[in-house]
Amino acid sequence: MMKRVLYLILVTLSLSGCSKYGYVSLNYPQAPEAYLPDGINYIAVVNRSLVEEEDAGNKIIEAVATSEIAGSDRLASDDCIKGAFDAAKGLDETEVIIPQKVRLYGTGTREMPELLDWRLVTEICESEGTDALLVLEIFDSNTDLLVSTATEQVSSIISTGSPKTTLPSQIEMNVVSYWRLYHPGSKSIIDQYQHSSYYTFDSNGGVLPPTALPEAAYTAGISYIQRFLPGFYVVRRDLYKRTSGSAKNQFIAGYRRAEVANWQGAIEIWTELADHNKQKTAGRASLNIAVANEVLGNTDLALDWAKRSYEYYDDKLGRSYTKILLRRKSYEAVP
């Protein structure tokens, strides 16, 4: 049984717009990409992306070839760990621990290291009192500064006979991190995931801002943990701001209540107009009542009022809104 994170529907209001229409934005919950098994309450996280000092020579050669500043990844990989640690505070039932005395070494490159020995994994988890071990297996960054500069210089020499004096105004950075989550109890890999991202920075004389790599690394750590956190997606619901004729002021009064999130009060006003003798007014009021009910979490009532706005009063928004709600209910019915 996988651990499910409980969360509430979030509603953010953004009522605005010109002419007769307004809209409200709803933030609907989205399930996490991955789940932790039950019983995983404490996780130790360690950095294995480094290379032992005696093997650092090859790493420095690779760093120069890929435009990476020697030693920068060593520091930035710790920022990646910090990002994962901070993001894990959003987990309801799981705590992440950074062991102070555990130091592991890997390839120091983008080459994937072998799995850790399960006896070592068990030893670390037992010493830290954790149920699993999260390992940053790979952390590597490089930029296109040296490559692009060399290309431009060669082109300049060929075309003009002299090197180009200006440096690139922007630098692109690529950051790759690879994670494995070891479970010593079952001797299985609960999760493994690679995160790759690209960032573009304005350069200052061909030099990266000092905070560029640490920030990118920290974000990479956050991105890994976010796979286990619920997210949300934004939907927009259109509604009417006003109608014409004798009901104009009353209708607008209902809309003003909605603008300050008094949706129940708005429903009370619009319900009085839902049987108005003017078809357009009744249809618009019914459509707005449908939207208000969805905001309040009453999806079935929202569907009933959306149908009414079209079936009884031929409101075109009601027809499209009915289809949206029917589709949403069909998605929710899928286990």
Q: In this predicted model, which residue has the larger pLDDT, 74 or 290?
A: 290
222-268 pLDDT, tens digit each: 999 999 998 888 899 999 999 999 999 999 999 999 999 999 999 99
Rounded distance between C-alpha atoms, residue 203 and residue 146, angstroms:
13
Of 276, 286, 272, 274, the residue nearest 319 (C-alpha) = 286
> Per-residue pLDDT tens for 32-85?
999 999 999 999 999 998 776 544 444 433 433 344 444 566 778 999 999 999
Contacts of 235 (CB under 8 A, 6+ apart): 25, 26, 28
Domain ranges of the chain: 10-27+238-333, 42-229
H or E element that contains 114 = none
**Under CATH, to which class is 42-229 assigned?**
alpha beta
Give the class (CATH, top level) of 10-27+238-333: mainly alpha
Q: How far apart are CA 287 and CA 303, in angstroms?
A: 10
Task: Give the model's confidence band at 146: pLDDT under 50 very low, under 70 low, under 90 confident, else very high.
Answer: very low
